């Protein structure tokens, strides 16, 4: 894995240029920031040499491809959870497909996008309303989803370097006000290592 000081140097010199490039394509700064970070993660995986000129061409190509792929696969997914009511969830395209709407009772959740609505799952009212009390509650949730939620409170991004790790189920209660402690607990409990890069990315690996 590439050294953090090396990545920081390349990131400092190339970030602004790549961000402008991606912004011209997708016009969403938050998403553009993530795609630029993804381009640098590709560079880390490639473990390229120290020739910065070759990095310019490589990062430009990867960043543009990531932006185009994002536009190509863009979906407006929606997740619906029910705290204290009973509702019916249906996506705009679902009526045309002929599928019946999914009925949600208290403590149940579903998600849907332009083409499909997923079966309802029971997540519990404590999980749905936990954020109001500063808690993050997970019941056998895949690690990748847990880290995605923690990232919302922590800032920056948490990346799983090996796909298999992301499938590990996590059952835990964390303090939403201390996401770093949550991350450290996960790393320690699962026997993982973490590499903190100065570009706002934490990489988890075995």
Mean pLDDT within 187-194: 93
**What distance in Å separates the CA atoms of residue 21 and residue 129, rounded to the nearest whole number?**
40
Beta bridge partners of 160: 204
Mean pLDDT within 179-195: 93
Q: Under CATH, what is the fold of the domain 129-206? A: Phage tail protein beta-alpha-beta fold (3.55.50)
- Number of helices (H), then strands (E), belonging to the chain: the values are 7, 10
Whether the Cβ atoms of residue 197 and residue 203 lie closer than 8 Å to each other:
yes
Instruction: Give me the architecture of the 4-72 domain, per CATH.
Output: Orthogonal Bundle (1.10)
User: What's the angle, vertex CA 159, arms to CA 13 and CA 49, rounded to 5?
Assistant: 40
Assessment of whether the complete model's pTM goes beyond 0.85: no
**pLDDT tens sequence across 73-90:** 765 454 555 554 544 554
**pLDDT tens sequence across 1-32:** 555 667 778 888 888 999 999 999 998 888 89
Give the DSSP H or E segment for 148: helix 143-154
3-state SS, one letter per residue, for 99-138: CCCEEECCCEEEEECCCCECCCEECCHHHHCHHHHCEEEE
pLDDT at 156: 80
**Residue 70 clears pLDDT 70, i.e. is over it:** yes
Q: What are phi and psi of 34, to 5 degrees?
A: -65, -40
**pLDDT tens sequence across 123-162:** 555 555 555 568 888 888 999 999 999 998 887 889 888 8
């Amino acid at each position: 894995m590439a050294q953090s000081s090396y990545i920081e140097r390349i990131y400092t010199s190339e970030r602004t240029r790549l961000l402008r490039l991606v912004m011209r394509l997708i016009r969403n700064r938050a998403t553009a920031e993530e795609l630029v970070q993804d381009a640098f993660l590709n560079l880390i995986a490639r473990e390229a040499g120290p020739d910065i000129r070759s990095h310019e061409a490589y990062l430009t190509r990867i960043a543009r491809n990531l932006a185009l792929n994002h536009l190509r696969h863009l979906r407006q997914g929606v997740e619906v959870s029910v705290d204290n009511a009973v509702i019916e969830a249906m996506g705009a395209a679902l009526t045309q497909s002929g599928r019946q709407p999914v009925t949600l009772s208290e403590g149940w959740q579903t998600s849907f996008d332009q083409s499909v609505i997923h079966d309802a799952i029971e997540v519990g009212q404590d999980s749905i309303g936990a954020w109001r009390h500063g808690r993050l509650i997970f019941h056998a949730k895949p690690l990748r989803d847990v880290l995605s939620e923690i990232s919302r409170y922590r800032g920056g991004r948490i990346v799983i370097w090996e796909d298999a790790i992301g499938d590990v189920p996590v059952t835990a209660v964390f303090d939403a006000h201390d996401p770093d402690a949550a991350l450290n607990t996960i790393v320690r409990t699962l026997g993982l290592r973490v590499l903190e890069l100065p570009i706002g990315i934490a990489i988890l690996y075995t």
